[in-house]
Amino acid sequence: MIKRVGVLFLLVALVLAPNAGYADVGKIADTEAQKEIKELKAMFADMQKELQTANKTISSLRNEIATVKAAPSSVVPVTAAVPTAGTGEITCGKGTQKLAIGGYAQFDYHAGDSAGTNTSTVNTFQIRRFYLSIAGNATENVDYKVLLQMPSTTTGGQTVSALDAYATLKNIDVAALMAGDFEGIYNPDARYLNLRIGAQPILFGIEGPESSSKITFIERSVMNLLCEDGHELGLSAFGDFFDKRLSYFVGVFNSGDMNGIGTDTDDNKMVVARLQATPFEGELAGCINT
């Protein structure tokens, strides 16, 4: 009897013992999970704090950007234009105010044979022309230009002279001018009246007003030299009509050396008038470009 009770007790102990072990293991597992949950909650709280700090930084940066955009910019964008016909130009500016700096030089070589004559010819390279220009506009309807003739072989290689130094009042609305509306004097469509004062090119012939960088040869024609197109100090008015099919130029200038800025030598003045019509545009008779 005693042996049977002992065996039964042993069986009960064997059955209950593993369950007790499992309970202890479960308690340990629950404790570890709670620790991990607490650590994750702490990490999440730290991340929330860092996110709030980042949001504050982003908001501050946005405010700074808005302040910079609203303030007048002291940075002037600069762009380089593509050089054409031997000239280069760099433009910079913002809005309606722009400044362009450019220029060009032309070189040639002189050679000749002076055999049998009393003159001597020296074969030489020379700088035929060397110009620097500064041009821009102060407002939508006021622009300016300064053209400097740099030392070259033609000028003797000694001094810098100003061929052009003028200001132009563009696109003047005559109706607004007559009505005394000086604020409305500028009209982009009023191409028929422009006023220019200062040392400027005299628009007389066809070839003369063209830049020497755009003519076919480095030297101008004999007829152009006879007409004595040049640069002189004075006042002029010019404009065009009918989509540039008809244009005019009229001005009063010093009767000086036709070489830019200079004082007149007498009381006489030079009056220049030009009327140009272009009835055809494009190819004429299949071979002539107008």
Nearest-angstrom CA–CA distance, 179 and 174: 8
Structural domain boundaries of the chain? 78-289
Structure tokens at 230: 């040049």
Nearest-angstrom CA–CA distance, 100 and 133: 8
Strand partners, 80: 90
- Tens of pLDDT along the chain (290 residues)? 544 544 455 554 454 545 444 455 556 667 877 888 888 888 888 888 888 888 888 888 888 888 877 765 544 444 434 344 444 556 565 566 788 899 888 888 877 766 555 555 678 888 888 899 999 988 888 999 999 988 777 666 667 888 899 999 999 988 888 888 877 888 888 888 999 999 998 888 777 777 887 878 888 877 777 776 688 889 999 999 988 889 999 999 988 766 667 777 778 888 999 999 988 776 655 554 54
In b/e form, how buried is each residue of 198-229, taking b as 16+ CB within 10 angstroms? bbbbbbbbebbeeebbeeeeeebeeebeebeb
Cα dist from 226 to 93, 258, 261, whole Å: 41, 13, 21
Closest to 260 in 3D by CA, of 218, 201, 186: 201
Contact 104, 211 (CB under 8 A): no
What is the pLDDT at residue 75?
Answer: 44
* Displacement of CA 12 from its chain's centroid (Å): 99
What is the pLDDT at residue 169?
Answer: 93
What is the pLDDT at residue 155?
Answer: 64
- Letter for the amino acid at 29? A
What is the pLDDT at residue 151?
Answer: 78
* pTM tops 0.95, yes or no: no
What is the pLDDT at residue 115?
Answer: 58
What is the pLDDT at residue 174?
Answer: 86
What is the pLDDT at residue 208?
Answer: 74
Residues with Cβ within 8 Å of residue 202, at least 6 apart in sequence: 208, 209, 229, 230, 231, 232, 251, 253, 258, 272
Closest to 138 in 3D by CA, of 177, 97, 166: 97
DSSP annotation of 275: E
What is the pLDDT at residue 80?
Answer: 39
